[in-house]
Amino acid sequence: MRPVEALDSLSRLGVRVRLAGDGSLFVPRAQAERPEARPFLDALRADRQATAEVLKRRATEDVARVLEALGSSGPGWIAIRSRTLGQTVLFVRDRIVEVPSHLTELPRYSLAELHRLLDGGATRDHLQRVHVPKRGLDPSAEIMDFETWGIS
């Protein structure tokens, strides 16, 4: 079984596989222990390099989709359910982009903030720390000086 097929099967089972910072595969323990997931996880382990390449390609495609929505030909915003942050967040081109009224209370990240996070190689922990002040501020507040919040 190819990694693409195994990843798709795991996704249908609700099992999330991601690349850890060291390039190893990470699956939450409760999901990894599910018997129906075992053959698909074994297939991924059998070809770790190809699995890592598929996961990287999918992540790149996700980023491209976000950047397309934020580009000049896109709507200027995109709402995404973040498993890392545990809630839906809104990415916007800039602070003047109009978003539908039902999304105005979501925490927002501007394109400038997104670039700072990506350029800094933000880890899962870093993203969660950056998000804490977003929850307590005006959802449209922009944090450009992460160091002020004790986040580097």
| Structure confidence by residue, pLDDT tens digits, 60-78 | 888 788 888 888 888 999 9
Which pTM value belongs to this model?
A: 0.63
Amino acid (one-letter) located at 36: E
Q: How far apart are CA 140 and CA 142, in angstroms?
A: 6
Note whether residue 134 is domain-resident: yes
Task: Determine the straight-line distance between the first and last CA of the chain, rounded to whole angstroms.
Answer: 42
The domain in which residue 12 lies consists of 3-60
- On whether both 95 and 48 belong to a single domain, the answer is no
pLDDT for 6 equals 93
Note whether residue 107 is domain-resident: yes
Q: How far apart are CA 36 and CA 91, in angstroms?
A: 36
Write the CB contacts of 32 (distance below 8 Å, at least 6 apart in sequence). 15, 41
* pLDDT higher than threshold 60 for residue 28: yes
Name the pLDDT band for 140 (thresholds 50, 70, 90).
low
- On whether both 78 and 125 belong to a single domain, the answer is yes
pLDDT for 77 equals 92
> What are the counts of helices (DSSP H) followed by strands (DSSP E) for the chain?
6, 5
Q: How far apart are CA 107 and CA 127, in angstroms?
A: 13
Which residue's structure tokens are 């709402």? 79
pLDDT for 107 equals 86
Mean pLDDT of the chain: 82
Note whether residue 98 is domain-resident: yes
